[in-house]
Amino acid sequence: MQSVRFSRSPLLSQRLPAWRQRLLLWLLLLAFSILVARSAYLQGFHNDFLGEKGRARYERVIDISATRGRVTDRHGDVLAVSTPVKSLWAIPEDVALTPAEARDLSKLIDVDLREMNHKLASERDFVYIKRQIPPELAERVAARKYGGIHFQDEYRRYYPAGDVTAHMLGFTGSEDAGQEGIELAFNSQLAGKTGSRRVIKDRRGNIVEDVESIRPPREGKDIVLALDGKIQFLAYRYLQQAISENRAKAGGIVVLDTQTGEILALANSPTYNPNNRQRLVGAQLRNRALTDTYEPGSTMKPFAIALALEEGKVRPETLIQTAPGKLTIGTATISDAHVHGLLTVSQVIQKSSNVGAAKIAGQMTPAEMWAMFNSLGFGSPLKLGFPGEVGGRLRPAKTWKPIEQATMSYGHGISVTLLQMAHAYQVFARNGDLLPLSLVRIDAPPPAGTSVFSAQTAREVRAMLELAVQNGGTAPLAQISGYRVAGKTGTSHKLEGGVYANKYVSSFVGFAPASDPRLIVAVMIDEPSGGKHYGGDVAAPVFAGVMAGALRSLGVAPDAPLAPLQIANAELVKEGI
């Protein structure tokens, strides 16, 4: 076979038809024209699309944090403030850390090495390595120039009073948003609104140029609480002391201004430090004064007797036979801690007779008693806007049995919160009317109160409550040198699984000066186990310590001789139910 060179191939000697050459030329020209036209259209007439795609590769809109508003007490002392901090972040694919550098960084910022390496090995575009570290620590990290580690400005909430105001203030989360307490209740006002600005960033996230401000941030508003820092500290200290001395499970205390309805102090135990919540448990978080209910015991007796006085059923001097210290209604028997015999209505309060209170309550209808309890705010939340607030338990009157009506007169079969009890005692401290409570300082005149009892009834019950605090009453340990005091003890068995257990809730609610009441203090001690359980032994001393300090702090003039207190003998104190 004779070989044929490629350059002399017969196929190459054949010419293509002329129309195919022209068609190919015109097709190429058409395609080129389309590309030119498209390019001119996009770049000259409709360049938004390309501009957006280009800007998306280097322009970013970033948020500008708004500084969270401060929380202060009524005197302007700061209780919560946001301080600037730094957060460490990275784009995992850009991080260039040697094993030694990784170990050094994890130790420096106190982060588990495996956890940090897991974050940096992820396929995410952005990870936080650690949030909210102090600026001085951030400076130390920056000085070591770890490859691919960046910083972000943030704010962290700081609470100068720590655990003293923990349950009142609550705390914020990592995003500086309220999680509990005042921080949550007033979050919309405190938080403000974030702003934004447009910047140019390189691929490592560094800002190259600040282009423009889109929306300036709106700073959060400051909140001025009704809280008095000095009185709050007194309440916290005396409550903690009582919990410790009586080996109690928990407790709470509330201080109210009778003239305005402002909450001057609110403390609970156990508590926590909102600045360090690493080992926080649920029991510490509970604001027991608003979220926990209990059967109030004998602190309810003044209300039943006030209703009887208001309806003209009894007078303060009316005699009630309480012997032999027991009263049987149906199959149940009501008992007194001590046999008292014939008592006046005033002495029923002074001696805290269950039998006397039950006999007086029996002169009213269930509907009348329910209406009175309801008008005092029992059975429904106080609507303070505080997270977790509950309303207690007040069953409809039509479901009451005779024994239940009797036991409600001395605080069994009904449940309340400590704040509800303090609020209700305004009717005796304010001549029969109730003011709404306030978490924030009131600068304008307070709203008019809602009348529940007549002024005469309130004064008569107030005189009875003074007797309860004097020698011969159930709470001589509530006396304060220089001030007339009025109040009532409460001691109730705890209900567990539908049965009353051998555990107690000890309480005391009172006000002073009795001649012109300025403050109400309510104290509740849960499960005291130090050998004492009566409200007069356990809760009344807390009241006395807090009330004495608070009255002097406010400059309230004494209304009694500044004579040494006569401490009641053990037998009298023993009656403190």
Residues 470 and 448 in one domain: yes
424 and 521 belong to one structural domain = yes
Per-residue pLDDT of the chain (577 residues; tens, 9 = 90+): 555 565 566 666 667 677 777 888 888 888 998 988 888 777 777 666 666 666 665 566 666 677 889 999 999 999 999 888 888 888 787 787 888 888 889 889 888 888 888 888 887 777 888 888 888 888 888 888 888 888 887 888 999 999 999 999 999 987 788 999 999 999 999 987 777 666 666 655 566 555 566 677 788 899 999 999 999 999 999 999 999 999 999 999 999 999 999 999 999 999 999 998 877 777 888 899 999 999 999 999 999 999 999 999 999 999 999 999 999 998 999 999 889 999 999 999 999 999 999 999 999 999 999 999 999 999 999 989 898 899 999 999 999 999 999 999 999 999 999 999 999 999 999 999 999 999 999 998 888 889 999 999 999 999 999 999 999 999 999 999 999 999 999 999 988 877 888 899 999 999 999 999 999 999 999 999 999 999 999 999 999 999 999 999 999 999 988 766 544 444 444 444 5
Q: Are residues 220 and 233 in the same domain?
A: no
Tell me the CATH number at 199. Answer: 3.90.1310.10
451 with 318, same domain: the answer is: yes
Q: Which of 298, 353, 415, 506 is catalytic?
A: 298
Amino acid (one-letter) located at 404: E
- 83, 298, 424, 492, 505 from 500: Cα distances, Å: 50, 16, 26, 9, 12
- 305 and 203 in one domain? no
CA 479 to chain centre: 32
Is 73 inside any structural domain?
Answer: yes
Asked if residue 222 lies in contact with residue 68, where contact means CB atoms within 8 angstroms, the answer is no
The tokens describing 500, both together, are 């009353």
12, part of any domain: no
Dihedral pair phi/psi, residue 525, rounded to 5°:
-120, 120
Amino acid at 117: N
Is 3 an annotated catalytic residue?
no
Q: State pTM to two decimals.
A: 0.82
Q: Which residue has the tokens 């003011």?
A: 435
Query: Number of folded domains in the chain?
Result: 2
Same domain for 510 and 381: yes
**Domain around 371:** 229-272+284-574
